[in-house]
Amino acid sequence: MRIRTLTLAAASGAALLAAGVLPANASGTTSPTSAQEGTVSAGDLLAKVTSCSQISNGKYKTDDETSATIPVCGKNGAVFWKADMDVDCDGQRTSKCNEDTDPWYQDDTAFHQSNGKPLKADSLPYVVVPSSSGIWNYSSAGIKGGGVVAVIYNNKVEYAVVGDTGPTKIIGEASYATANALGIDPDPETGGVDSGVTYILFKNSKVSPIESHSAAVTLGDQLAQQFLRNN
C-alpha cells in the first residue's frame, strides 16, 4: 500500500459552473447498492478509451515501489486513466474507517460536505486525484472537487465524485465505498486491486451537494451519454 500524505484543505465557496452542475433534490446520502448505475454500459464506455492521447507531462506510479507507467489521457469532455485501486478510508471517523482499521488514516479530506465536515469514505463513493504537480494539474484540466467520475471494473460502472487528493507521483485510489460497490475488497490495509480499473473524470462537472450519491449517479449518467456522443 502507498504511504499517504496529508490532504490539502479545500477552497471554499467555489462557484458552480453552468455546465455539468446538478443540485440534489434530496439528501441522497444512502450507500450505493448496485454497481451497474445509470443506463450506459461498462463496455460502451471502455470502447471510447482504448487509446490514450497523453495530457500529463509524465507518468504516475500506482504504488511507491512500482515504476511510473500510468499516463493521464485526454478525451472530449473528460480525462481518464487506467490503474489499480488502493482504498482510501480518510475523512470522518467511522467504525470501518479509523486509526485502528487504517494505518494511514487521516481525519480529513481535501473536499468537504456541504456542512463543512470531511467526507465519509465508507458510505460515499469518491476518487482520489494526485495533488497538482509538474506531472499534471487536475484543476487546470477542468477537474474539481465534487466532479463526477465513472469508475469501471469487472464490467461494472460506479459513479463517484472527486473527493480527495493524494501523493503527487501516485495514481489509482478511491474510497472504501467505491471499492465495496465494485466488488473489490474495501479493507484499507489489505484490500484494493492491482490493476484493471478505469477512471473517467468528466470535465467542468460538479455534484451539489458533494455528499449526494444519487445526484452523482443522475449527473454521471447524463455526462456518460454525452461522452459517448462526443467521442
pLDDT score of 30 = 43
Task: Evaluate whether residue 76 is within a structural domain.
Answer: yes
Tell me the whole-structure pTM to 2 decimals: 0.87
Q: What is the rounded CA–CA span in Å between residue 40 and residue 141?
A: 24
pLDDT score of 36 = 75
The residue among 6, 31, 15, 4 whose CA lies nearest residue 146 is: 15
Task: Evaluate whether residue 224 is within a structural domain.
Answer: yes
Range of the domain at 37: 21-230
Task: Evaluate whether residue 74 is within a structural domain.
Answer: yes
Task: Evaluate whether residue 154 is within a structural domain.
Answer: yes
As for how many domains the chain has, the answer is 1
Which phi-psi region, left, alpha or beta, contains residue 55 (left: φ > 0; alpha: ψ -120 to 50)?
Answer: alpha
Q: What is the rounded CA–CA span in Å between residue 37 and residue 148?
A: 13
Mean pLDDT, consecutive 10-residue stretches, the chain (231 aa), reads 38 37 43 70 97 98 96 98 98 97 97 98 98 97 98 97 98 98 97 98 97 98 98 97
The residue among 159, 160, 231, 152 whose CA lies nearest residue 198 is: 152
Task: Evaluate whether residue 9 is within a structural domain.
Answer: no
pLDDT score of 35 = 63
Task: Evaluate whether residue 8 is within a structural domain.
Answer: no
CATH of the domain at 223: 2.40.40.10
Task: Evaluate whether residue 2 is within a structural domain.
Answer: no
Task: Evaluate whether residue 170 is within a structural domain.
Answer: yes
